[in-house]
Amino acid sequence: MKNVNAYATRGFNWFCNWFSKGRYDYDTDLRYYDRAIQREPEHALFWNNRGFTWHMKGLRAWNRPACEDHALSDYAEAIRLNPISASAINNRAWLLATTKVDRCRNGLKAVKEATKACELSDWKNAGYKDTLSCAYAEIGDFEQAIRWQKEALDDPFYRRQEGRIPRMKLRHFAKKQPFRE
């Protein structure tokens, strides 16, 4: 396959297959993104998507810390290549705020980056507000965590998409507990 977008599309299609069929081959997806990045290393979206794949693999893998290190590295490269990529900034903020891996968590940085993602989206993306709520919870500011989770819940699409999870986060925050993925 010579077309770099074909590799990236295949990686994305593997991801979509996971949603539709409930199974996902992270290693195949990572190989497709590796090939796309080898051919076009300046394409920020490829780095962001590979970072997301590493993150998702880490949630289900025995070597979660290594996967999350890879994800953070890929997100950093995506942001270096495109400093106004709200998606990459938000993805990194989410991982920094919610990971169970202590050495990868950084609440202050997560708040800063989640705020930037919200600003880049003109405060219109409920998912970014959700990330901001989790980041505030990570630093122990549960009043702000609750505020931003409620703001996210004001979006009907977000409510439908996320189901019961936002309400569960609100219960965590009310008990002064951060959310861990």
pTM check: above 0.85: yes
In angstroms, the CA 114 to CA 44 distance is 18
pLDDT at 60: 85
Tokens for 59, please give them: 């949630």
Instruction: Output the pLDDT for position 156.
Output: 96
Tell the residue number behind the tokens 């699409």, with chain if given: 157
Distance CA 99, CA 104 (A): 7
Q: What is the spatial distance between Cα 137 and Cα 132, in angstroms, rounded to a whole number?
A: 9
Q: What are the backbone angles phi and psi of residue 179, rounded to the nearest 5°?
A: -95, 130
Q: Hey, what domains does the chain have and what are their CATH numbers?
A: 1-83 (1.25.40.10), 111-181 (1.25.40)
Q: Which pair of tokens denotes residue 70?
A: 């890879």
Nearest to 11 by CA among 50, 39, 55: 50
**pLDDT tens digit at each of 181 positions of the chain:** 455 554 445 555 544 454 454 556 889 899 999 999 999 999 999 999 999 999 999 988 778 899 999 999 999 999 999 999 999 999 999 999 999 999 999 999 999 999 999 999 999 999 999 999 999 999 999 999 999 999 999 999 999 999 999 999 999 999 999 999 9
CA gap 127, 152 in Å, rounded: 7
